[in-house]
Chain A
C-alpha cells in the first residue's frame, strides 16, 4: 500500500477516536468545562498532563536539538522535567486545595484585587498565545509532511479537529483525548527507538543502550556507542558529543526552563481536575513518569540517529571512501523530496563527503583528499525523529504512527493552551470582573465562545506567524518564570505578601523580561530594531536565559513594596492558612 494512504488511514483512525471521546465526554457544567468535574484519577491526569506538556517541539525537534549539539543541550532534558519537582512541592497541592478553576482566579482572590487579577490574565494570555502559535504551525507542518497536503490546509484541519472536541468537551473532553493522544505519541516515539537501540547495541531500552557497547556487526563493535560517536564526529571536524562549554550559562538556562515550566498556566490547571490534594501530589509524580518515558528516550534517539546518519555517509569509516550517490538508501531519497535532507556532489566524484567544512583542521585533509566542501548540504534536525522508522527498516504502519504521533503531540498541547486562554477570559474577565451576576449556563456559553475565539486567533497567528515565531519559546518560558511563578509561590508561602507587593512584583517581572528581550532581539522582535547587540549582554546573559533574573526582580520588588505597605486583611491570612492544609478540600470545590 502507498505510504501516504497508510498515513491518512492511521491519522484518520486517531481522529475518529478523539471525536468519539469528545462526544462521550461532553461538558454539562462549568465545573466540567474548566476542571473536568474534579473526578479525574491521578494516574489518568498524569497521562493527560504528559500529553498537554509534550508539544510538537518535544516530539519532533528535541532529539535533534540534543543530537546536533550534544552534552550542552542536556539543559532541555533537565529543564523541562525538573520544573515538575517545583510544581509538585511548591504549587500544585496548594492550588488544588484552593479549589477554584483558573490561575488568575487564585491571584485575584489571594491578593484581594481585580488589578492583580487582570495583570495575571494579561501575563497568562501573552504566555499562552505565544506558545500556541508554535503548536498550530507545528500541526500544519506535520500534516504537510505526512499527508502531502498544503501546510495552510493542514493548519485548518488541525484547528477544526481541536474546535470539535475542545468546545464540546472543555477540560473533560480535552483530558480524555489527551490520554488517547499520549498513548499514540509514546508508541510512535518508543517503538522505532527500541528497534534502533537493539540493532546498534543489543539493548532494548534506549536509555541504557546509549551507554552500552556497540554490538557485533556494527562499525566499532565492542566499543561504547558514545566513544564511537565522539570518534566519528572529531574525525570529521565536528565538536565532541560529550563535552560542553560555559557551565554557568547552562545552569542558568536550565533554571529558566525549570521555573518557566512550573509557571505555565495550562499545566498548572491540569492539577485542578483531580479529586483531592493527596491526588494532586501523586499526579505530579505520574505526570513525570509519563514524560520521562519520552525524555529518557530522546537523548538516545538523538545520538543513535546521528550515528546512523554518519555511518550511512561513511560506510567504510572516515578513512575509506564516502558513500556513492547511487548507494544512498531509499529513505534518503524519500526525505530529500521534502527538503529536509539535501546533497550536492560538489567535486563531481560521484560520492557524498559529509564533514564540517567550517573546521580549520579539516581544510588540509579536504585539500589532500580532493573534497570541495561539505556535500550533505541540507540536514534538518527534525529528520532524526521523522526518518527513524525508515532508518530502522520498520514497516509502513510504524511510519504512519509517527505521523499520528506528531499530530497528536501538537493537538494535545494546543487544546490545553486554548482552554487556559478561554477560561481566563470567560471566568476571570467576564464572570469575575465585568458581569459577576452571569448565570451558570451563560458562563458555560461564554466559555465555549471564548474557546472558539481563541482558536480563531491561534489559527490566524499560525497562518501569519509574527516575525518572532522562533523566539516564542524564550518569551513564553521567560515570562512564565518572571511573572506567574513567583506570584503564585509567594501567595502560598508568604502570609505577609499583600496586593500591592504582588501586583508590582508581577509587573516588574513582566516588564523587565520583555524589555531585556526587546533590547537584544528587537522591539516586538522586529529584526533590526534591537538597540543592543549580542556582544553587549548584561553580565553575558543571553535574553533566552533571563527568566530567573526576572523572577528574582519580581521577588525583590514584591518583598520591598509589601513591607512598605499594609499587611493583608485577616481573612486573607486565614485563606493562606487554609490553602496550606489539605483538610476540607472537598468542601471548597466550585463556588
Chain B
C-alpha cells in the first residue's frame, strides 16, 4: 500500500470540495429562497423579488451548475491523484 498517503489526500480534497458545494447548495435553497428571503426583498425581479425567483427557478439552476462543476473537478482530481479508472 505505497500509495496510501495519496488516497488520504485525495479523500480530504474530495471532502473539501463536497463541503464547499453543499454550503452553496444550502445557501441558495434554504437561504436565499426561504429564510433569507426578507433580506433580499428589496431586489425586484419580474414583478416579485429575488427570493421568489430563487425558490421557483434559481435554486434549480444553481443545483445544475453545482453537479456539473463537481463532476468536472472530481474527474480532473481523479487523474491528478492517479486514482482514475483506466
Which residues of A line the B interface, CB within 8 A?
66, 71, 74, 77-78, 81-82, 84-86, 88-90, 93, 207, 210-213, 223-228, 230, 242, 247-248, 250-251, 254-255, 276-278, 281-282, 284-285, 288-289, 292, 295-296, 299, 577, 580-586
Residues of A within 8 A of B55 (CB): 71, 74, 77-78
Residues of A within 8 A of B66 (CB): 85
Q: Tell me the nearest residue of chain B to A584, going by C-beta.
A: B85
Contact B71 A582 (CB under 8 A): no
Q: A254-B30, A276-B85 are in contact. Are A88 and B67 (CB under 8 A)?
A: yes
Residues of B within 8 A of A78 (CB): 29, 33, 55, 59-60
Contact A254 B34 (CB under 8 A): yes
Residues of B within 8 A of A228 (CB): 47
- Complex alpha-carbon distance, A282 and B67, angstroms: 8
Contact B56 A299 (CB under 8 A): yes
- Complex alpha-carbon distance, A3 and B26, angstroms: 47
- Complex alpha-carbon distance, A84 and B66, angstroms: 10
Please report the total number of B residues contacting A with Cβ < 8 Å.
Answer: 42
Contact of A82 (CB < 8 Å), options: B7, B29, B37, B46: B29
Contact B52 A242 (CB under 8 A): yes
Contact A81 B34 (CB under 8 A): no
Residues of B within 8 A of A90 (CB): 18
Q: A251-B30, A281-B71 are in contact. Are A295 and B46 (CB under 8 A)?
A: no
Residues of A within 8 A of B86 (CB): 583
Contact A88 B71 (CB under 8 A): yes
Contact B70 A281 (CB under 8 A): yes
Q: A88-B67, A278-B78, A585-B85 are in contact. Are A242 and B59 (CB under 8 A)?
A: no
CB distance from B73 to the nearest CB of A (A): 10
Contact B60 A77 (CB under 8 A): yes
| Beyond A211-B57, A226-B48, A281-B67, 13 additional pairs, beta carbon < 8 A | A88-B67, A89-B21, A226-B46, A250-B34, A254-B30, A277-B78, A285-B68, A285-B71, A288-B60, A296-B60, A577-B7, A580-B10, A583-B82
What are the interface flags for B41-78 relative to A under an 8 Å C-beta threshold, 1 for contact and 0 otherwise? 00001111100110111011101101110110011001
Residues of B within 8 A of A247 (CB): 34-35, 37
13 intermolecular pairs with C-beta atoms under 8 Å apart: A77-B60, A84-B67, A85-B22, A85-B66, A242-B49, A242-B52, A251-B30, A254-B30, A276-B85, A277-B78, A278-B71, A284-B71, A580-B14
Which residues of B line the A interface, CB within 8 A?
7, 10-11, 14, 18, 21-22, 25, 29-30, 33-35, 37, 45-49, 52-53, 55-57, 59-61, 63-64, 66-68, 70-71, 74-75, 78, 82-86
Residues of A within 8 A of B74 (CB): 93, 278, 281
Q: Tell me the nearest residue of chain B to A223, going by C-beta.
A: B47
Residue with the greatest number of chain A CB neighbours at <10 A, chosen from B37, B45, B53, B60: B60
Contact B47 A225 (CB under 8 A): yes
Q: A276-B85, A278-B85, A582-B85 are in contact. Are A288 and B56 (CB under 8 A)?
A: no
Contact A82 B57 (CB under 8 A): no
CB distance from A197 to the nearest CB of B (A): 13
Residues of B within 8 A of A251 (CB): 30, 34-35
- Complex alpha-carbon distance, A90 and B7, angstroms: 17
Residues of B within 8 A of A581 (CB): 7, 10-11, 83
Contact B46 A582 (CB under 8 A): no
Q: Decide if the interface of chain B is mainly helix, strand, loop or mixed.
A: helix
CB distance from B5 to the nearest CB of A (A): 12
Q: Tell me the nearest residue of chain B to A291, going by C-beta.
A: B60
Residues of B within 8 A of A89 (CB): 18, 21-22, 67, 70
Q: A299-B57, A583-B83, A583-B85 are in contact. Are A84 and B63 (CB under 8 A)?
A: yes
- Complex alpha-carbon distance, A210 and B52, angstroms: 11
Contact of B48 (CB < 8 Å), options: A223, A242, A250, A295: A242
Q: A254-B34, A281-B74, A296-B57 are in contact. Are A81 and B63 (CB under 8 A)?
A: yes
Contact B56 A210 (CB under 8 A): yes
- Complex alpha-carbon distance, A502 and B65, angstroms: 33
CB distance from A572 to the nearest CB of B (A): 16
Residues of A within 8 A of B18 (CB): 89-90
Residues of A within 8 A of B60 (CB): 77-78, 81, 288, 292, 295-296
- Complex alpha-carbon distance, A84 and B25, angstroms: 11
CB distance from A227 to the nearest CB of B (A): 4
- Complex alpha-carbon distance, A278 and B78, angstroms: 9
Q: Tell me the nearest residue of chain B to A224, going by C-beta.
A: B47
Residues of A within 8 A of B53 (CB): 211
CB distance from A240 to the nearest CB of B (A): 10
Q: Tell me the nearest residue of chain A to B86, going by C-beta.
A: A583
- Complex alpha-carbon distance, A278 and B29, angstroms: 27
Q: Tell me the nearest residue of chain B to A94, going by C-beta.
A: B14
- Complex alpha-carbon distance, A254 and B18, angstroms: 20
CB distance from A91 to the nearest CB of B (A): 11
Residues of B within 8 A of A226 (CB): 46-48, 52
Q: A84-B67, A93-B74, A278-B78 are in contact. Are A211 and B59 (CB under 8 A)?
A: no
Residues of B within 8 A of A77 (CB): 55-56, 59-60
Contact A88 B70 (CB under 8 A): yes
Contact A207 B57 (CB under 8 A): yes
Residues of A within 8 A of B61 (CB): 292, 296
